[in-house]
Amino acid sequence: MSDPRVAGVGLTHFGKHPERTGRAMFAEAGLAALDDAGIDPDDVEALFYGNFMGELAEHQGHQAPLMAEAVGLDVPATRYESACASSGAAIRDAVFRLRSGEADVVLVGGSERMTNIGTAAATDALSIAADDLYEIRAGMTFPGAYALMARAYFEEYGGSTEDLAEIAVKNHEHALPNEYAQMQQAITAEDALDAPTIADPLGLYDSCPITDGATAAVLVSEEYAADHDLDTSVAVTGTGQGGDKMALHDRQYFARTPATEDAADEAYDDAGIGPDSVDFLEVHDCFTIAEVLALEGLGLYEPGEAIGAASRGETTREGDLPVNLSGGLKAKGHPVGATGVAQLISITKLLEERHPRAEDVEGATTALAHNAGGTVASATVHVLQEVEQ
């Protein structure tokens, strides 16, 4: 069994594109990935595609074959829906397909169109990743849910809105040179603290934007890469997935994410590494508190310690463990079904030294991608490593 290699990547600009259809965005990303890989599209054997709210935003289900057609592929195509972790789950199954030897070339990606239906409708559509019977009908939305998690964290471990503000400042600064990012603007801690409250204690700058966009990556077997003399220096060496109860009130923890813990343990074991091997990572920071929970769930910080990591400079691009050099969901944007593959793309480009922040991780060989669904009822973790050709 060999580890799948990343042969090519492509994505659209993340932002407000209400006039563009999901299929148009995915065609752009998919064709860019195939061009980047430099392979014959006829060699692609399957499409693994993430999308969350296509039925609500575009009145379009059964999207996977539609997206294959948009890219010009006549292959079996499967849509993955795991809320915000949709394309993270797609990556995982693509890895298994390649490892099993059932395929040598697959396209994995995702897209989401959200701004065309407006903020209120998009917020309502996103809420269906929570428990309809016991959360949505009571008025729960995700800003409110993560606000509850933030309050629980502060009560159990300490921390403050000032600590959360520093996470927002960091991720906005990281996104500045990212031409694909939705928010290429610097902010100060004062900006974040003075911004309108969304759900106390979370403010406007603690929250990721509503985003349109698409991503795609060509994954190939090691044998195919060698046979076709492809430049594939990045491999997916570990994959893991975890789950938790859907509704917050049914969980054992508010201030921990067992789904992330389980996914990380599986991915580390699969790759044969531990948390100490990680040089940098992309985590699911839909809200600033989510970055804190992710870092602790991934075993990179003990419970209660990650809240001050950005304030201490540890997770900035100058720190020992750079987090979300793309800008994260917070500033890069969060086109839900595309986010997991967006993380893979950022890491691949950083390891290949063709990312605007590559100099900040010079010499790095190992990175993590953490993708979460809902209030982390679902989570995937992937280990990507620089490998010999």
3-state secondary structure at position 91 = helix
Do residues 335 and 112 make contact, with C-beta atoms less than 8 angstroms apart?
yes
3-state DSSP assignment of residue 10: strand
Contact yes or no for 329/286 (Cβ under 8 A): yes
What are the CA-CA distances from residue 148 to residues 118, 192, 255, 385 (Å)? 25, 19, 9, 36
Which residue among the candidates 172, 284, 334, 355 is catalytic per the annotation?
334
Active site residue 334: yes
Residue 233 burial by CB count (10 A; 0-12/13-18/19+): exposed, middle or buried? middle
**Which secondary structure element, helix H or strand E, spans residue 78, and what is its range?**
strand 77-80
Three-state SS at 138: helix
Query: Other CB atoms closer than 10 Å to residue 227's CB: what's the count?
Result: 11
Q: What is the distance between the terminal CA atoms of the chain, rounded to a whole angstrom?
A: 16
Cα 81 to Cα 50, 67, 86, distances in angstroms: 6, 15, 5
**9 phi/psi in degrees, rounded to 5:** -140, 155
CA 160 to chain centre: 25
Distances (CA, A) of 62 to 28, 126, 181: 19, 19, 28
CA atoms within 13 A on the CB side of 242: 24
Cα–Cα distance for residue pair 358/130, rounded to 1 Å: 37
Active site residues: 84, 334
